[in-house]
Structure 1
Amino acid sequence: MSRLRNRGWVLPASFTLALLFGLLPLPELLLPLRPYWLALVLAYWVIETPDRVGLGFAFCIGLLADLMFGGILGDQALRLVVMAFILQRFRARIRFFPLSQQALAMGGLLFNDRVIDAAIHLLAGERLLPWSYWWAPLLGMALWVPLYLLLDALRLGKRRR
């Protein structure tokens, strides 16, 4: 039996938790700082297992998130597909970066995600996003290394000695 087959629960569990973390109620002051958990988890899986998670998966999970979070239908789907496309295009380079450089790349991708989200809100005629909304990519960048190490340990079944 393959070790990866035994760990098949990690992919759905990680996306389920990411969706639930996105639904957790936060105080009004902290709402703009909420990291985009779904994008971080998607980025990990696109980098590490591109044969299982790709553009179609990103679109479907984005539509599910749109339905769960009650936003503009297709907003998160578009944002996640753009992120998955960029990650697939540069996967070979990003995968071999040290984790600190991967975190910087993730910060850039999360900032790009915020730009796309702001453009969608602007085109939909919704109110402009507050300036504190732009701090979330920095928090996501800081969370990349621990999240990557956690998901990698769960996926590969590494144990502490």
Structure 2
Amino acid sequence: MTRVPSGWLIYGSLLASLLVLVVPLPTGIGLARPYLLAMLLCYWILEAPDHVGLGTAFIAGLAADLVSGTLLGEQAMRLVVLSFLVQRFRARLRFFPLWQQALAVFALLLNDRLVALAVHAASGDGLPPWGTWLSPVIGFALWPWLFLLLDELRLRLRERERAG
């Protein structure tokens, strides 16, 4: 039986990603900010599907909408779509080598940008700046490091729980 991480690690990391979402960055760099919340949801759905799912994605998306001041429900819908796709292909994604997982996360983040584009087009907003399309590329580059960091944290937590 595999042990899942404590809730504080899962929900603490999601809360930390909400804080990263509101860190002020220069305009050009801020547009290319990786969607860390989506990447963390991908990781936790892959590694702890009994604890993180569509409901968590929806609540995290609403929190992200409130924190960032975007259209209420936009990020919630985007994260639910992303989480559904990760859940649907979880059995395959878990056994991909890390570089293939990074490509899959890139495709998911690119799909997220397309959903965001559709939402903005439907709401009458103009096209987003071109810099927003760099976000999936940066997410692609960060995925292996994020995955390894969270795996190490989970391993240390598991060892600590066994010892204590």
Quick one: which amino acid aligns to residue 38 of structure 1? L
Any conservation in 2 of the 1:103–1:144 contact (CA below 8 Å)?
A: yes
Report the RMSD for the aligned CA atoms in angstroms.
1.6
TM-score by structure 1 length?
Answer: 0.93
Gapped regions of structure 1 (runs ≥ 5): none
Query: What pairs up with 1:41-80 in 2 under 5 angstroms?
Result: 41-80=40-79
Q: Does 1:142 align with 2:141?
A: yes
Q: Which runs of 4+ in 1 moved over 4 A?
A: 2-5
Moved more, 98-107 or 147-156: 147-156
Structure 1 CA distance for aligned equivalents of residues 19 and 27 of structure 2: 18
Q: Deviation string for 1:92-146 (max 9, x for gaps)?
A: 0000000100000000000000000011001001121111211110000110011
Match of 1:87 in 2: 86
For 1:3-42, list aligned pairs within 5 A: 4=4, 7-42=6-41
Are the counterparts in 2 of residues 4 and 156 from structure 1 also a CA contact under 8 Å?
Answer: no
Gaps of 5+ in 2: 160-164
CA distance in 2, matches of 1:123, 1:153: 42
Tell me: higher relative CO, structure 1 or 2? Use CA pairs within 8 A at least 6 residues apart.
1
- Give aligned pairs, total: 157
Of all paired residues, the percent bearing the same amino acid is 52
- Residues 3-28 of structure 1: per-residue CA shift (max 9 Å, x gap): 746x4321121011110111100001
Q: TM-score, normalised by structure 2?
A: 0.91
